[in-house]
Structure 1
Amino acid sequence: MSGRRVKILGASVFMVLCLLLGMPRSVVCGQVVDTVDLPFFDDFSGPFHTPYAGYWVLREDVDCGEQVAIAPPTTGVAIFDALRGDGSFHLQHGAVGNACDTLVSRPLRLIGSDSVYLSFQFQPQGRGGQPQPADVLVVDFFDPVSRKWSEVWRASFDANAQQVSQHYAYSDGKVRTVSQKAPDLSQRFVKAHIPVVLPYRVLGFQFRFHNFVQVSKDTQLPGRQANTGHWSVDMVYVNAGRNAGDTVYVDDVACVGNLDGLRLPYQQIPYALATPWLVQLESNPSKYLHTQFVNLSSDVRVVGREFRIKDASGTLPVVGSSRPYFVPVNPGATEKFQRTYSYQWGALAGRAVDVTIEANLKVDMAANLAPFLWNDTVRQRVRFADVYAYDTGVPDNGYGIDGLSTAKACVAMRFEPIAAGTIDRVQVYFNPIVDLTSRTRFEIVFFNERNGQPGDELYAQMCDPPKAFEKDKPFVEYVLSSSVGFDEPVYVGLRQTKADMMQIGIDLHTPTPSRIVYNAVGTWGESRYKGALMIRLACSQGGSTPRVTGCDVESRIALRVFPNPARARVSVQGAPDGCVVELYSMLGEQVCSVRAEGEIVEMEVDGFPRGVYLVVVRGERNGILASERLVLL
């Protein structure tokens, strides 16, 4: 760090020039980092993957979200673990005393402030990895005059006793320890309250969070050397005029939990198969969106909800909404809320869908102003692409089997088809480990279902694991050498070739969990973890591919359907000889099928109900070659 003296109101004040490389240009004034006025508040609820750059100068290694925390005070937390922002490890295995994630505040303007406190809430482990005794969370204060960081607080967690200990360090060298025990403390948030005293109560004061993690030393089982020691932090609040016992931190109303909107069997569904759900959503007269929020203030607040639905893919200028309805909410109370809504879901049939549903709070004041910028909004993203996916795309932890007699151990998950088809690709999220080169080959395995568990083996393929982790492309896709029929439930899993834990991601808070089973010693058992392994089944050309006889075309074709809209007859141009041209209703039912012979295929549609249909051209080897939406008048 370096610094210089600048004149402010005639006084010579030492300004800290700190960590400029991590700052966006908009918050850098010359060579001096801009200061932030009180109150400082961040509950990490913004639409960002890392903490907000306007509040924090070093933040790239800290993730934001809810995938690890259990029942956070408001939507969103900051997550501290053993990984850098790019997914690599901060430290080598077995290392002790190495700081991992670091989150540094921008300088605060504390001149003339009195009774200043930093408060926040934190949770050890949650759904993540259990902190060991040496895996601590630390808070340091920065003195702009001496240009030194000093530890003022740390927390440790005893998992066996379910006890959290907070250690407060004072300027006189004394340390005060406050401990708290509860049977489920790893699932609760604990409050911390730290006074900001001299010499820190000056212009340019900063604070930082950082954690220490010790990864397993077991080099014989490198699969165990994975991300662990999770801490979640929420409700970071700095202000003057506070005291050691204050409980009402902020005058705010905030969202709690996720938006409970569309309830589908999967988080993602192949879009060619999504029509029945889209039609049902549009025709349902009692469609509800559910949310909940909490009144954090000491006064009764009048709160309402407003929903907005947007087509994020930009293919349709369709916006759904609902008018707000206001209700009074008592101090400290958490209220559930539901509203009906309208949206043209049927208009999205037959195409890739990327829709975002937003629920916004409306409160009894002119605006929910800074510093409470984002906790009044929750979102749900709805996507229909080309995969069956139970997971939300973000892992809570890693899942695997190790120990004696596990060289052929297998973990699997149940998938049920929406419509008969074939699967030609499998996508897997491998949890990061310290030594990526230690991973060994494995098999992708398909089983049929017998008596509620995996039965006969349908297909197996040997695969190589990834030797690197790409955070922007976390799923590794494996193309099957032969397509696998998918017209009834199957179990899809990974089988080890060595007695080492092959860690794959597991999503423990997905709204669409599946049945997870494992086989280590010759018999199948059901996992005690409820969620979804991050294994996805990918379908060719945007949808499941039913096995049909027909042409042998090696690439996707250009398709023309005319007239469109149509009334009595439709012409389809571009379907090669021998292919099958099919017409599907919005309910997913095949209403017409014609084998292609010649340049143009004619389809009689007179008498079919008006609405949106899907024209599909299929081949034997490569399934759906082309599809086009058709409107019948």
Structure 2
Amino acid sequence: IHYRNLGPTTWNVTRRFEIHNNSNHDIYAFSGAAENIFPYSEVSFTRNYLYNFDSEWTDSASFTFVTYLITDINPETSHFRWNDTLRYEQQFNNYYAYDDGTAENGYGLYGEGTQNGRVAVKYVNYQSDWLAGIYMYFNRTYNDANQKYFRLAVWDDNNGKPGNIIYEQIGERPEFTDSLNRFSLYRLDEELWIEPGVFYIGWIQTTTDMLNVGFDFNRVNNSKLFYNTQGVWENSQFKGSLMIRPVFGELTEPPTSTQILSSDKGFILYPNPTNNSFSINFEKENRDVTIRVFSITGQQLLALTYQNNPIDVSSLPAGTYLVQMAVDKMIFGTQKLIIVR
């Protein structure tokens, strides 16, 4: 701690410390001894201590550190002591984070060539665990212009850059909460086992529109931020931290509501699985409908205007694909298609 005597009087001060365990409200108090502080002098003091940071909570912990000075107990001078107490809250949560929780700007890919663009953030896992969800913070835009579908993705490591996709989840859109700087939580449909080591989380775009993910200027970690629009991963040159966090173990809050693409939207692929062709059940009503077929890694393989005829996929090998529908040049949704032979 650092403190200063701003007056002409020498004070004998006693330094006190407390650790508050917020999971069970226990308080561990200890002293930093007493010392004279001379007029207009400044003191720096360090106190080592031993404390077991145990928590009653299974997937998180929170501790409040308090330090204060005791100069006298005279009530007439109590107002002098109002600024003699410092508090700091240390949280241990079930996620990793580089950002400080506040967005000074926004980050994303946009413009020609960014459809199917990818953004990934590097993390290091220190203990094997289940990846259960991903926190993302989205800046709200005028008329919610960033309400575009994207695909959540997890990559393994390839010599310090994102490698193979090890998990992908379609049908996600930016979601907004009713609190300032509050993250949206996306639950993974299937929890992913992550071994100790490097992995990457991020998204794959389905449009050329900017998603406008929160960007923290105060914590500089752009060496861990990568983007890919031309088939090659590049480091971002913008200094800061992207506000996206991997969540492990049990989720400690409900996931943010998100619209899931399903047959309830009137977009049905059939037959699915298929072998040579598929059709779409959709109320066309003389609207301009474009169908695109992508590989699971995001490579566009087919693009055509839908005319209520079966779509031929006999040229594609057996496997899993993503079928994207655009209605009047706006992305309507994306669904999985399985081709079997």
- Of 404, 409, 414, which residue of structure 1 is paired with 2:122? 414
- 2:52 aligned residue: 344
The offset of 1:443, in angstroms, is 1.7
> Per the alignment, do residues 477 and 340 of structure 1 end up closer, same or farther by CA in structure 2, a change over 3 Å counting?
same
- 1:119 aligned residue: none
One-letter amino acid matched to 1:483: E
CA contact (8 A) 2:100 2:216 kept: yes
* Alignment partners' CA distance in 2, 1:429 and 1:380: 22
- Single out whichever of 366-375 and 337-346 deviates more from structure 2: 366-375
One-letter amino acid matched to 2:21: D
- 2:272 aligned residue: none
- 1:358 aligned residue: 66
* Alignment partners' CA distance in 1, 2:99 and 2:214: 10
Secondary structure in 1 aligned to 2:211?
coil
* Alignment partners' CA distance in 2, 1:363 and 1:518: 56
Residue 460 (1) aligns with residue 168 (2): yes
One-letter amino acid matched to 2:96: Y
* Alignment partners' CA distance in 1, 2:178 and 2:114: 28
CA RMSD of aligned residues (A): 3.8
Which deviations, in whole Å up to 9, do the C-alpha atoms of 1:265-310 show, x marking residues without a partner? Answer: xxxxxxxxxxxxxxxxxxxxxxxxxx44566x46587666432111
> Per the alignment, do residues 439 and 541 of structure 1 end up closer, same or farther by CA in structure 2, a change over 3 Å counting?
closer
The offset of 1:408, in angstroms, is 3.3
CA contact (8 A) 1:439 1:502 kept: yes
Same amino acid, percent of matched pairs: 24
Residue 380 (1) aligns with residue 120 (2): no
CA contact (8 A) 2:109 2:211 kept: yes
- 1:435 aligned residue: 143
- 1:397 aligned residue: 105
CA contact (8 A) 1:292 1:336 kept: yes
CA contact (8 A) 2:152 2:170 kept: yes
- 2:306 aligned residue: none
- Of 529, 535, 541, which residue of structure 1 is paired with 2:244? 535
One-letter amino acid matched to 1:475: F
CA contact (8 A) 2:222 2:236 kept: no
- Of 14, 18, 21, which residue of structure 2 is paired with 1:311? 21
The offset of 1:376, in angstroms, is 3.6
> Per the alignment, do residues 421 and 383 of structure 1 end up closer, same or farther by CA in structure 2, a change over 3 Å counting?
closer
Secondary structure in 1 aligned to 2:231?
coil
The offset of 1:427, in angstroms, is 1.6
The offset of 1:330, in angstroms, is 7.2
CA contact (8 A) 1:301 1:363 kept: no
TM-score between the two structures when normalised by the length of structure 2: 0.59
CA contact (8 A) 1:426 1:537 kept: yes
Equivalent positions of 1:92-491 (< 5 A) are: 291-293=1-3, 297=6, 305-313=15-23, 315=24, 317-326=26-35, 328=37, 331=40, 336-346=44-54, 352-362=60-70, 369-370=78-79, 373-374=82-83, 376-384=85-93, 386-466=94-174, 468-471=176-179, 474-487=182-195, 488-491=197-200
CA contact (8 A) 2:16 2:69 kept: yes
The offset of 1:354, in angstroms, is 2.2
- 1:524 aligned residue: 233
The offset of 1:311, in angstroms, is 1.3
Secondary structure in 2 aligned to 1:388?
coil
CA contact (8 A) 2:103 2:181 kept: no
- 1:506 aligned residue: 215
TM-score between the two structures when normalised by the length of structure 1: 0.34
The offset of 1:388, in angstroms, is 3.2
- 1:9 aligned residue: none
> Per the alignment, do residues 517 and 351 of structure 1 end up closer, same or farther by CA in structure 2, a change over 3 Å counting?
closer
Secondary structure in 1 aligned to 2:133?
strand
- 2:270 aligned residue: none
One-letter amino acid matched to 2:103: P
Aligned residue pairs total 249
CA contact (8 A) 2:133 2:188 kept: yes
| Structure with the bigger percentage of strand | 2
The offset of 1:372, in angstroms, is 7.7
Secondary structure in 2 aligned to 1:345?
coil
- 1:492 aligned residue: 201
The offset of 1:492, in angstroms, is 0.6
CA contact (8 A) 1:406 1:498 kept: yes
> Per the alignment, do residues 322 and 529 of structure 1 end up closer, same or farther by CA in structure 2, a change over 3 Å counting?
farther
* Alignment partners' CA distance in 2, 1:406 and 1:494: 12
* Alignment partners' CA distance in 2, 1:329 and 1:453: 56
> Per the alignment, do residues 321 and 455 of structure 1 end up closer, same or farther by CA in structure 2, a change over 3 Å counting?
same
Q: Any unmatched runs of 5+ in structure 1?
A: 1-290, 544-633
Instruction: Tell me which of the two structures has the higher relative contact order, counting C-alpha pairs closer than 8 angstroms and 6 or more residues apart.
Output: 2
One-letter amino acid matched to 2:210: M
The offset of 1:539, in angstroms, is 2.6
CA contact (8 A) 1:361 1:377 kept: no
Which deviations, in whole Å up to 9, do the C-alpha atoms of 1:182-238 show, x marking residues without a partner? Answer: xxxxxxxxxxxxxxxxxxxxxxxxxxxxxxxxxxxxxxxxxxxxxxxxxxxxxxxxx
Say which one has the larger Rg: 1
* Alignment partners' CA distance in 2, 1:419 and 1:492: 17
Secondary structure in 2 aligned to 1:435?
helix
* Alignment partners' CA distance in 1, 2:124 and 2:232: 22
- 2:336 aligned residue: none
Which deviations, in whole Å up to 9, do the C-alpha atoms of 1:463-522 show, x marking residues without a partner? Answer: 432454410782212222232231031011123333333222234445999822233443
CA contact (8 A) 2:62 2:89 kept: no
* Alignment partners' CA distance in 2, 1:489 and 1:405: 28
> Per the alignment, do residues 433 and 449 of structure 1 end up closer, same or farther by CA in structure 2, a change over 3 Å counting?
same
